[in-house]
Amino acid sequence: MAEQNNNSSNGASSSRNGGATSPARKRGLRLVAGLFLIGVAAFVVWYLTVSRYRESTDNAYVAADSVTVASRIAGTVQAVAVGETDGVQPGQWLVRIDDRDARVALARARAELLETVRDLAQLREREKSLGAQLAARNLELAESRDNLARREPLAADRTVSAEELAHAKSAVQLAEARAQSAERERAAVSAALGEGSLSAHPRVDAAVARYTQAALNASYTTIAAPLAGVVAKKAVQPGQVVAPNQPLLTLTPLGGAWVEANFKESQLKNVRIGQPVTLEADVYGSSVEYEGTVVGIGAGTGAAFALLPAQNATGNWIKVTQRVPVRIALKPDTVAKYPLRVGLSMDVTVNTKDRSGALLPTASPAQAPQAAANDEAVLKSAEDEARGWVRTALGESAERGERNVSSAAPAAKAKG
């Protein structure tokens, strides 16, 4: 009986405890279910408003243009002013080549120019002399014709002998031959001189061009930086003999860096040019965030332009998801504070909510290549200097008038 009473009391207490904990368990389950539903709802809202408008990849790297600095002439390197990782500014000299050969060539070109000018000046004086000689021959011819004209009427009356008349005719023929010879000789010299100013003579132009080229070659002995950047690679040492177009240095302009993100082909459906991008660099971590813009989508996959393209026409073909490079321009503010190096890894997230942009870039108008400002300055300076020598040597101010007078005088006398 006592045992039964104990069992009855234990059962009653268990029934009371079970009835007491059942509502608490239900409240706990309801709380868990509510939190789960809130989480699901938050995820759905986040996906609908944020996640579905984002495409991300960590297959992205910093890229930049690289400029190869090469020698334009052959020679021996005298000095190298920079090393790898050094920063350079536009116009800063980088390499100097022995300029003795260039200076000798420049002096030779100058001598050839002055010799050409001297030859043309002599031809001009020769033309003047032949003009005077032609005028004298024309006077002799006119006198001979006058003598013949006076003797011909007298020969009919036998006042003048036949021998004297024949002598007068021979004198006319001789004077005509001499005048024609002088005219041909003068015409040959005039043809060699050409028309117009002697400073624009083809021989002068050719000599000026040779001098200008020699001056350019002399300027090429000092190799300067074409832009601001960092020396990424150096392949030249003092004393080294270099050839034309031989690469010496490689410069990287870090200010113009961009990011090349390789997205899977399945991620490009909603990517458009002009969409905003957020980026993080592994070197700085998540504490530094860069902003950028999609500026271009690759014309093909990376495999399509590989050195050895994939051969898919085989029986063992396995489909591999391809990646397409997307070019992203960085805003300069953060880059100036946290500079990036070429090849650094980046995490990229593109906001694809605004899909009004283009899939293909607009073709930019072609621009004519511009020569380096330094080369243009050297070219103009050398040509102006050479033209100044020509004008001084030829007396350009009076040249045109003198030639016109000497050319017109013989013709006027011949007509008279």
Q: Which helix (H) or strand (E) holds 175?
A: helix 162-193
Do 346 and 281 form a contact (C-beta atoms < 8 A)? Answer: yes
User: What would the pLDDT profile of 116-147 be if each residue is shown by its tens digit?
Assistant: 888 888 888 887 888 888 888 888 888 888 87
pTM score: 0.63
DSSP track, 74-127: -EEEEEE---TT-EE-TT-EEEEE--HHHHHHHHHHHHHHHHHHHHHHHHHHHH
291-327 tens-digit pLDDT: 999 999 988 888 787 777 777 766 677 788 889 999 9
217-267 pLDDT tens trace: 999 999 999 888 899 999 999 999 999 999 999 999 877 889 999 999 999
Say yes or no to pLDDT of 409 above 50.
no
Give the rounded percent of residues in the chain with a pLDDT score beyond 70: 82
Q: What is the pLDDT of residue 23?
A: 81
Model pLDDT, residue 74: 94
d(CA 163, CA 223): 85
Q: What is the mean pLDDT of residues 96-123?
A: 91
Q: Is the confidence at residue 383, as pLDDT, over 50?
A: yes
Compute CA 101 distance to the chain's CA centroid, rounded to the nearest angstrom.
Answer: 28
Sign, CA dihedral 175-180-183-185, equals negative
Three-class secondary structure of residue 318 per DSSP: coil
How much is the pLDDT for 364?
61
Question: Can you give the pLDDT at residue 410?
Answer: 40
Rounded CA-CA distance 135/181 in Å is 12
| Inter-residue contact 258 to 296 (CB < 8 Å) | no
Q: Report the half-sphere exposure of 26 (CA within 13 A, side-chain side).
A: 6
Whether 216 contacts 382, CB under 8 Å: yes
The 10s digit of each residue's pLDDT in 141-179 is: 888 888 777 767 766 666 767 777 677 778 878 888 888
pLDDT at position 255, please? 75
Spatial contact of 82 and 250, defined as CB atoms under 8 Å apart:
no
Residues 6+ apart with CB under 8 A from 10: none
Task: Answer with the residue of higher pLDDT: 337 or 24.
Answer: 337
User: How big is the chain, counted in residues?
Assistant: 416
